[in-house]
Chains A and B, each alone.
Chain A
Amino acid sequence: MTEWMGTISMKRIRKLGYLFKEGVHNMFSHGFMSFAAIAVTVACLVIIGCFSAILYNLSRMVNTLERENRVIAYIDESYDSQTAKTVETAIRRLDNIQEAKFVSREEAGARFIEQQGGGEAYEGIDANTFLDRVVITLEDNAKMDETVQVISQVQGVDHVNARTELAKGFTTIQRVLNIASAAIILVLLIVSLFMISNTIKLAMYDRRDEIGIMKMIGATNRFIRFPYFVEGFLIGVISCALAFFITWGIYDLIAAQIQRVDALQLFDIVPFLNLLLPMVATFGVAGLFVGVFGSVMSIRKFMDV
């Protein structure tokens, strides 16, 4: 029994080895077709990669700007510094608060003078002109309206200053970026999928007589399919590797150009190395998905020969 099972599994391994070799051989023998499929997939993946990188950077910039959009809760001027600080603790306990920092009227005054560039004109300004305040960073700026309402209710808060319109603007930009990126990535993935599928379909059409012979001599569907599956897999792997390095090159080139122009210094471009893992994962998954699914999709239609 064990010997029999050993024979069966050896047979399987042998068959798999042969079929894998056939798949590799097919890829080379379909020369131009394989080249076309790889070229199209690489092009789509590079566009996906560059687009994702741009979106990532934009999204990061929007996030940074969004964080700058803080809510300021001014404290009742009748509160002394000690009592005013308790308001900070009360605000910190509320929902959607990422950070709440008490700024005394003296610190606020000093900061104001510093922002104005100092100078004699500001000497002698009384700190009491300013109010004690709590500078708040929210977890989610989309909920700014509701949070500001709650903060206003906190005892000791005189009034709240929040740029809710700006927050809404950022939220909208983020949403548009997310939807646009998802839509474009999906479209490009589908295009690649159809291109690979079509290439393999053409290859199978070209070899329909051979497939007929294989079926006639007793080849199982799995035996016929596997080399095409391997071919799709290899096209996917090669495409995603090429696309990855091309995207890397393009990204570094663009980042270097941006760094060189003074007017664009406000764009803080993330180094590609920081994107390495997500990029490898995205290209790997997309390349394999497109390659394997593209071939499986086309083989299905041809197996009823």
Chain B
Amino acid sequence: MIDFQNVTMVYDAGNRALDSISLHIDDGEFVFLVGPSGSGKSTIIRLLTAELVPTSGSINVNGYQLEKIKNRSIPYLRRTVGVIFQDFRLIENKTVFENVAFSMRVIGASSKQIKKRVPYVLDLVGLENRGRRYPNELSGGEQQRVAIARALVNNPSMIIADEPTGNLDPVRSYEIMMLLERINALGTTVMVVTHERELVNRFTKRVIAIDEGRVINDGMDGYYINEEN
């Protein structure tokens, strides 16, 4: 669950990235967060993962009150939120299996648990035969699937995908979105941050549009609203 109440974020340089934003995303929802570059999308992600502290307002993510979260609680918040990035952010000197298993190591899972869970998740994302490969031996779409597997492996209640298809061709992009939709169908909240209008419009999902740090549209019509619409 995500709940923003009148959240304002002003950076040290005086740049107002978010201007009194309020939004609520329930457990199990699939939401697109759209907007042009510099609209405040990345700031929202950094706030959701407690990389930033809001200047004012309150943020609740999976029960953690982020405006007053203690440093020692941040890792535990992040374990409830799986994040996927445009540039995949995989560890190059670890195999696909090790990259995914690494997330489980962090939370102290046993080798037995890892050996059971990682193949299951790799199978879920369609990489059952790629476990021994290194990231640089995979295509962009496959690398993004590894990132999704890593985000999923600890069973987070929410997945945040930051421009997950930014480096992929349209066919791979569609496949990744289908995969995220399948993950959502299994009960995980999914928030996809993107500015790819065509992709958003192919799915009938809730779309939250922001511009200049404000919510300019929040609807279930499944359309990317921007200045061209």
Contacts and interface: CB of A to CB of B under 8 A. Distances in A.
Nearest to B81: A218
A223 interface: yes
A217 B80 CA distance: 9
Q: Which one of A12, A14, A215, A216 has the greatest number of beta carbons of chain B within 10 Å?
A: A216
B162 to A, nearest CB: 11
B51 to A, nearest CB: 9
Interface string A214-230: 11111111010000000
A182 B6 CA distance: 61
A29 B91 CA distance: 14
A209 interface: yes
21 contacts: A14-B108, A15-B105, A18-B105, A29-B93, A212-B89, A213-B89, A213-B91, A215-B75, A217-B78, A217-B79, A217-B103, A217-B150, A217-B151, A218-B75, A218-B76, A218-B77, A218-B79, A218-B106, A218-B154, A223-B75, A223-B106
B107 interface: yes
Interface of B: 49, 72, 75-79, 83, 89-91, 93, 102-103, 105-108, 110, 150-151, 154
A11 interface: yes
A223 B76 CA distance: 13
Contact of A216 (B49, B107, B108): B49
In this complex, the interface size class of chain A, counting residues with CB under 8 Å from chain B, is 10 to 19
Contacts of A212: 89
B106 A217 contact: yes
B148 to A, nearest CB: 13
A15 B154 CA distance: 16
A15 B106 CA distance: 8
Interface string A188-218: 0000000000000000000001101111111
Contacts, number: 47
A204 to B, nearest CB: 15
B108 A219 contact: no
B89 A216 contact: yes
A15 B108 contact: yes
Contacts of A218: 75-79, 103, 106-107, 154
A29 B92 CA distance: 13
Contacts of A210: 91
A29 B93 CA distance: 10
Contacts of B102: 214, 217
A216 B74 CA distance: 10
Contacts of A29: 93
B110 A14 contact: yes
Given A215-B78, A217-B150, A12 B106 contact: no
Given A11-B108, A12-B108, A15-B108, A216 B91 contact: no
A214 B79 CA distance: 11
Contacts of A223: 75, 106
Contacts of A220: 72, 75, 106
B110 A219 contact: no
Nearest to B76: A218
A64 B73 CA distance: 64
Q: Which 3 A-B pairs have the closest CB atoms?
A: A218-B79, A218-B78, A11-B108
Given A209-B89, A210-B91, A216 B78 contact: yes
A215 B105 CA distance: 13
Nearest to B150: A217
A73 B49 CA distance: 85
A118 B99 CA distance: 92
Nearest to B83: A216
